[in-house]
Amino acid sequence: MESCHVDEVRLKANLALNPKNKVTLGQFMTPSVIADYMASLFIPVNKEVRLIDCGAGIGSLTISALKALKRVAIIELWELDPIMRIYLEQNIRALKEPYVIHSEDYIYDSVNRIIGKTESQFTHAILNPPYKKIKSSSDYRKTLRSIGIETVNLYSAFLALTIKMMEKDGQIVAIVPRSFCNGPYYKSFRKQMLLECSIDHIHVFESRDQAFKDDDVLQENIIIKLTKNAKQRDVTLSTSHNQLFNDYIEKTVSFKSIVKDSDKERFIHIPINELDIKNDLFKIELAELSVTVSTGPVVDFRMKEFLEKEPTKTTAPLLYSHHFVNGQLEYPKQHKKANAIRITPETEKWLMPNGFYVLVKRFTAKEEKKRVVAQIIDPKDINALKIGFENHWNVFHFKKHGINETLAKGLACFLNSTQLDNYFRVFSGHTQVNATDLKNIKYPTLEVLMDLGKYYNTQMSQNQIDELIIGAVY
**Domain harbouring 97, CATH code:** 3.40.50.150
The answer to whether the CB of 255 falls within 8 A of the CB of 199 is: yes
Q: Are 137 and 165 in contact (CB under 8 A)?
A: no
Whether 359 and 430 map to the same domain: the answer is yes
Half-sphere exposure of 152 (CA within 13 A, CB side): 10
Domain boundary pick from 238, 257, 276: 257
Residue 261 pLDDT: 87
- In this prediction, residue 426 carries a pLDDT of 67
Residue 154 has pLDDT above 70, yes or no: yes
Q: Does 263 map to a domain?
A: no
**Is residue 424, in this structure, part of any structural domain at all?**
yes
In a domain, residue 337? The reply is: yes
Residue 461 within a domain: yes
- pLDDT digits over 91-125, tens only? 999 999 999 999 999 999 999 999 987 666 899 99
What pLDDT shows up at residue 174?
Answer: 97
Residue 8: predicted pLDDT = 52
Asked if the model's pLDDT at residue 27 lies above 70, the reply is no
Check: pTM over 0.85? Answer yes or no.
no
Which pLDDT band holds residue 430 (cuts at 50, 70, 90)? Answer: low
Could you tell me the residue range of the domain that residue 447 belongs to? 286-473
Q: Look at the chain and report how many structural domains it folds into.
A: 2
Q: What is the mean pLDDT of residues 151-158?
A: 95
- Mapped onto helix, strand or coil, the DSSP state of residue 192 is helix
Counting residues of the chain whose pLDDT is more than 70, the rounded percentage is: 86
According to the model, what pLDDT value does residue 370 have? 83
C-alpha torsion angle, residues 394, 399, 400, 403 (rounded to 10): -80
Q: Is residue 90 domain-resident?
A: yes
Same domain as 331, residue 234? no
Q: What is the DSSP string of 271-303?
A: -SS---TTSTTS-B-GGGGT-EEEE-SB-GGG-
